[in-house]
Chain A
Amino acid sequence: GAVVSQHPSWVICKSGTSVKIECRSLDFQATTMFWYRQFPKQSLMLMATSNEGSKATYEQGVEKDKFLINHASLTLSTLTVTSAHPEDSSFYICSAIQGYGYTFGSGTRLTVV
């Protein structure tokens, strides 16, 4: 079946640095990619929707200058957390529409120290 490969699966970074998370669609073209974030004991919350070749649409309260999304090709979307702070520590997961369903990446556990 369709697979979305997400890397890294976990990352620890220092406060103030930037972290890039990649999601690649394998064997299919992902025109649309959704990025979610999950804080401990909370739901996955949609951060933004990216469409290949256009600017991402961010949900209310999500800082677009802090969470940079690039969807330059039909198989790759990236989320860069810029100037990370401890409060950005979370679980980030991407999802692509494939056929009549959604395919999710395996998620990235980000810890900012």
Chain B
Amino acid sequence: AQSVTQLDSHVSVSEGTPVLLRCNYSSSYSPSLFWYVQHPNKGLQLLLKYTSAATLVKGINGFEAEFKKSETSFHLTKPSAHMSDAAEYFCVVSVEGSTLGRLYFGRGTQLTVWP
């Protein structure tokens, strides 16, 4: 069975401080993992994805995530938060591994960035 758990529904940080959004997954297969961001009234935008290559994945806007199989985690980080990072973030697992198929979403983490 596949599932995704985002450990925090809300995260608040000050501008310029590090961001950590936590995600744990379970999958019967070698997973493909994604982080998406959704700004208000916008579609989901892909930040980064892991598909069994390098375990440290770099994405857009300075975000990166590390795939840790032993911990079944795929936490999203950014060294320095910017006001424009305020949005909803979704951790997602694909059930068919590296091939494209249905997606399982976490509940989302709302990131607030204070000036």
Listed in ascending order, the chain A residues whose CB lies under 8 Å from chain B are 4, 6, 9, 34, 36, 41-46, 49, 93, 95, 97, 100-107
In contact, A93 and B43 (Cβ under 8 angstroms): yes
Q: Within the assembled complex, what's the spacing in Å between the Cα atoms of A41 and B109?
A: 10
**Which DSSP category, helix, strand, loop or mixed, fits chain A's interface?**
strand
Interfacial chain A residues near B100, Cβ < 8 Å: 97, 100-102
Within 8 A of A (CB), among B28-45: 36, 41-45
Q: Within the assembled complex, what's the spacing in Å between the Cα atoms of A97 and B31?
A: 18
Known interface pairs A9-B41, A102-B46; A49-B107 also in contact (CB < 8 Å): no
Q: Which of B45, B90, B107 meets A41, CB within 8 Å?
A: B107
Q: Within the assembled complex, what's the spacing in Å between the Cα atoms of A101 and B46?
A: 9
Taking CB as reference atom, which chain A residue is nearest B91? A43
